[in-house]
């Protein structure tokens, strides 16, 4: 555990390294909300064990993605790869929300991203595909 504040805890992120050429000053940490009701916690794929609200500076925790059913709401493709502050720079990212999140309640900042080139241990399985939209003429 790297840092704890009133609103979040920061953990050292093992699946990326700081990009020394980046415009951004990423510090090698990922923050997790300390409230179980926070949208940042409920929308995040990655979870800590124990939960962030039970962690203190110096604690050790597991970080991973429990089996989760999500809906892909956007695909970001970046050529050249996007400068996000870490390496490798992502070129394809899925934006996902929990499958039960209502589409009409979807805000611009809702969801979490899956970097398809990340070293994070992520397994993706297609469960269903939305019906294509058909237009009557």
Q: Is the dihedral of CA 110, 116, 120, 124 positive or negative?
A: positive
Looking at the domain assignment, is residue 102 inside a domain?
yes
Number of domains in the chain: 1
* Amino acid 98: pLDDT: 87
What domain range is 61 assigned to? Answer: 3-115
Residue closest to 114 by CA, chosen among 98, 130, 90: 90
DSSP state of 133: P
Looking at the domain assignment, is residue 30 inside a domain?
yes
| pLDDT exceeds 70 at position 30 | yes
| Integer Cα distance of 30 and 130 in angstroms | 32
Q: Which two tokens stand for residue 10?
A: 């920061």
| pLDDT exceeds 80 at position 73 | yes
| pLDDT exceeds 90 at position 39 | no
């Amino acid at each position: 555990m790297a840092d704890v504040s009133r609103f979040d805890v920061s953990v050292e992120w093992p699946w990326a390294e700081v990009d020394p050429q980046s415009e951004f000053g990423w510090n090698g940490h990922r923050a997790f909300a300390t409230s179980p009701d926070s949208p940042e916690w409920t929308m995040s794929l990655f979870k800590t064990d124990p939960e962030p609200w039970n962690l203190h500076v110096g604690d050790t925790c597991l970080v991973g993605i429990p089996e989760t059913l999500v809906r892909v709401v956007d695909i970001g493709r970046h050529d050249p790869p996007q400068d996000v502050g870490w390496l490798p720079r992502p070129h394809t990212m899925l934006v996902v929300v929990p499958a039960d999140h209502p589409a009409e309640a979807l805000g611009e900042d809702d969801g979490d991203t899956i970097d398809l080139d990340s070293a994070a241990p992520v397994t993706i399985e297609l469960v269903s595909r939305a019906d294509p939209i058909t237009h009557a003429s």
